Structure 1
């Protein structure tokens, strides 16, 4: 055990046992019923101290306060708390989290943001970290586990005047709302073609490119920027969420079920005709090749406790004695969901790795990292990450919706405008639903980006050649009033 850092682990069902008998492990029996009795789901994080200690009160935070949180949120909270606890251990003399005070918080902020030996995290990262620690201590105070909250509080009201409520005084107020990164369609195409597909900057195939699954990766990123799905949502799509193309239809609709949508934000997702064509090409070629290789190697027969669909027209499986549809299965269950076809078993998951198994989120994060590195090597100053493509979808969509909305309203009288808005709604609210936001306030941050675009447009009216617009020296006499005559004169 590392004597310097706390560690994050995740619960697992059906843990493999060592072949040789172990007296201690044998006394534990089957751990799965123990987890079931305590309603501990698979993949729940828990923290272990540098001395190997499991803190029951600390880890209860994940099973109570964050019991219904999405998987990505749980992982982010565990990572942020790990950093804070490790700082208390290493830099504050093995201090227990229950005894942390505002001085510890101030020292932590210095190290994270300005210390020469620290990581110099950006404002948006610090805001997230301080928010995590604050929520943890507010929970710990309610449970009487901690003596005080080391995060200094201030009173505030929301933009509608509701409140007051307490928020961390440590927030930077310069986070993502005013510094939102996104790509124009042209910038995205450059990043995708060079970074993901391995083309040269001139748009030609690069013989030196050794990337694999270029078609799959391109299709994945194209769908992400055109649908606005989150990484966790898109990665867990099954074949049953891919709509069938309909001749003459520009956009096909599919339903993103609550079981894989973050915060249960089930919603309609749109697939463009070109996205569907690329998806079916991937399914019939790269995906089929990976499945054939996996079948030949007996990969699917080795999956433990598979959920097998025997009738694709009625995709139901037995889970704990219940018959459930695919739309009722979560992320973990979908990873062991198989379809029994005439050619043999195959995963129901849409996105597969080179071994023919459902790809993990880490796989796609690596795709973005590799693409950014390639762009950097060829001197292309464009980078992206999964959430940046979601931002790009939001900005581009909102700009188009607002432009069409305003143009339509401009030629209507008051009564017609009211009828139009009742029928077609509000562009911001429409985008909120597409993104799966619970609050309109979250979506409104994209309006700030549109304001920036408006300013950039106006800036374009300023001439590039300022000298040409300046007044010539000989013309200054006509513009500057003559100096008054002195009294002596």
Structure 2
């Protein structure tokens, strides 16, 4: 146990990070500690040369079988910069091993940035899909269809309607994963614009990246999928959880007593100990939203929209697993068996050669 690292994770700067950022930074720092330990040094004894060697190992060393890209390294560097900057400020070390320089921000403020950022970083590897390919991905990856358009034998599809509804919601509205994944049941858009195929809703400030509330628009078809999910598999999961007493065994639960109206609605609740509380709806974090319940005809019901098979809130980062499984299924179902494990240039080169020859022959005949 390192007491200084324990102090760092309790510092205001680290505690302001989101849960996912905290987890990522902790993993990055742990890897650096392992590297420094192999050299017989603690993190307080790290020098600039140690960071340079670690950067080379992570990015370019031929001996490293799991090298990372520029974007990943830049995130790790941000984690190291935060740790060492805190240690310098608190006078636990005299100088940070991370090379930095000072620049002027947009508002004229002086900012300190790391100079060892990777130059080949890119935020994402985006590939656009045609509408037909997108529908194929949904049918095969989420609905369990075969390449011939029929459900595969043995496909269970217990959460099929939930996954399809969430996917159509985010693609129709442009909401981020956390924004759509932390919606409450009463936040589902219901107001239809006149002579329009779209509805509009309001996304809470606390779950956005900019921490500002905004209006979003979503197609009525996507809203219909969400409502069908609420009335079918979600309702069934809630009933099963009520009968099993899962909600009664939760360590913390807040029963909502009122949601006020107006431009800044507030949520009022009473917890299991009888303590009454309230907070502006836009300022509820996604963790606090998971605790909100309402009293239904057969007992407490979660207000969190997306639930797992046990009727408990499905955490926003868990959608990564859903999409990863869908991608793997599409790869398994749609890749021809004779092409598995082969060079794509070897697979498609004969096709291109034949068609190029046909076009050349046609052009020769036309010129004659």
- Give the TM-score category using the shorter length: 0.7 to 0.9
Tell me by how many angstroms 1:244 deviates.
1.2
Which residue does the alignment assign to 1:447? none
CA pair 59-197 structure 1, distance change in 2 beyond 3 A:
farther
| 5+ residue gaps, structure 2 | 262-266, 337-354
Tell me by how many angstroms 1:316 deviates.
2.3
Q: CA–CA distance in 1 between the matches of 2:121 and 2:295?
A: 49
The more displaced of 284-293 and 316-325 is 316-325
Which residue does the alignment assign to 1:184? 129
Which residue does the alignment assign to 1:106? 52
Provide Cα deviations, 1:410-453, integer angstroms capped at 9, x if missing partner: xxxxxxxxxxxxxxxxxxxxxxxxxxxxxxxxxxxxxxxxxxxx
Which residue does the alignment assign to 2:118? 172
Provide Cα deviations, 1:336-369, integer angstroms capped at 9, x if missing partner: 2111122322100000000011112343222122
CA pair 313-201 structure 1, distance change in 2 beyond 3 A:
farther
**Residues 70 and 262 of structure 1 are in contact (CA less than 8 Å); yes or no, is this contact kept in structure 2?**
no
> Please, what is the CA RMSD of the aligned residues?
3.2
Provide Cα deviations, 1:47-91, integer angstroms capped at 9, x if missing partner: xxxxxx1423554255321332222222222222222222222x2
1:349 aligns with 2:304: yes
Identify which of 186, 193, 203 aligns with 2:139.
193
Equivalence map 1:143-222=2 (5 Å):
143-154=90-101, 166-177=112-123, 180-186=125-131, 187-222=133-168
Tell me by how many angstroms 1:249 deviates.
3.4
Which residue does the alignment assign to 1:229? 175
Q: CA–CA distance in 1 between the matches of 2:238 and 2:185?
A: 14
SS at match of 1:301: coil
CA pair 124-380 structure 1, distance change in 2 beyond 3 A:
farther
Equivalence map 1:34-183=2 (5 Å):
53-56=1-4, 59-89=7-37, 91-93=38-40, 95-115=41-61, 116-154=63-101, 166-177=112-123, 180-183=125-128
SS at match of 1:262: coil
**Residues 153 and 167 of structure 1 are in contact (CA less than 8 Å); yes or no, is this contact kept in structure 2?**
yes
Which residue does the alignment assign to 1:308? 255
Q: CA–CA distance in 1 between the matches of 2:238 and 2:17?
A: 33
TM-score (norm 1): 0.61
Q: CA–CA distance in 2 between the matches of 1:209 and 1:312?
A: 41
Greater CA radius of gyration, 1 or 2? Answer: 1
Q: CA–CA distance in 2 between the matches of 1:125 and 1:357?
A: 32
CA pair 127-380 structure 1, distance change in 2 beyond 3 A:
farther
**Residues 157 and 163 of structure 1 are in contact (CA less than 8 Å); yes or no, is this contact kept in structure 2?**
yes
CA pair 325-150 structure 1, distance change in 2 beyond 3 A:
closer
Tell me by how many angstroms 1:293 deviates.
0.8
**Residues 61 and 139 of structure 1 are in contact (CA less than 8 Å); yes or no, is this contact kept in structure 2?**
no
CA pair 233-83 structure 1, distance change in 2 beyond 3 A:
farther
Q: CA–CA distance in 2 between the matches of 1:146 and 1:233?
A: 40
Q: CA–CA distance in 2 between the matches of 1:88 and 1:335?
A: 39
TM-score (norm 2): 0.79
Q: CA–CA distance in 1 between the matches of 2:309 and 2:238?
A: 9
**Residues 303 and 336 of structure 1 are in contact (CA less than 8 Å); yes or no, is this contact kept in structure 2?**
no
Q: CA–CA distance in 1 between the matches of 2:325 and 2:33?
A: 31
Q: CA–CA distance in 2 between the matches of 1:299 and 1:325?
A: 28
CA pair 379-163 structure 1, distance change in 2 beyond 3 A:
farther
Q: CA–CA distance in 1 between the matches of 2:7 and 2:107?
A: 36
**Residues 140 and 147 of structure 2 are in contact (CA less than 8 Å); yes or no, is this contact kept in structure 1?**
yes
Tell me by how many angstroms 1:285 deviates.
0.5
Which residue does the alignment assign to 1:376? 331
Tell me by how many angstroms 1:238 deviates.
0.6
> Between Structure 1 and Structure 2, how many residues are aligned?
334
Provide Cα deviations, 1:370-405, integer angstroms capped at 9, x if missing partner: 112212222459xxxxxxxxxxxxxxxxxxxxxxxx
SS at match of 1:83: helix
Which residue does the alignment assign to 2:203? 256
Q: CA–CA distance in 2 between the matches of 1:303 and 1:58?
A: 29
**Residues 245 and 273 of structure 1 are in contact (CA less than 8 Å); yes or no, is this contact kept in structure 2?**
no
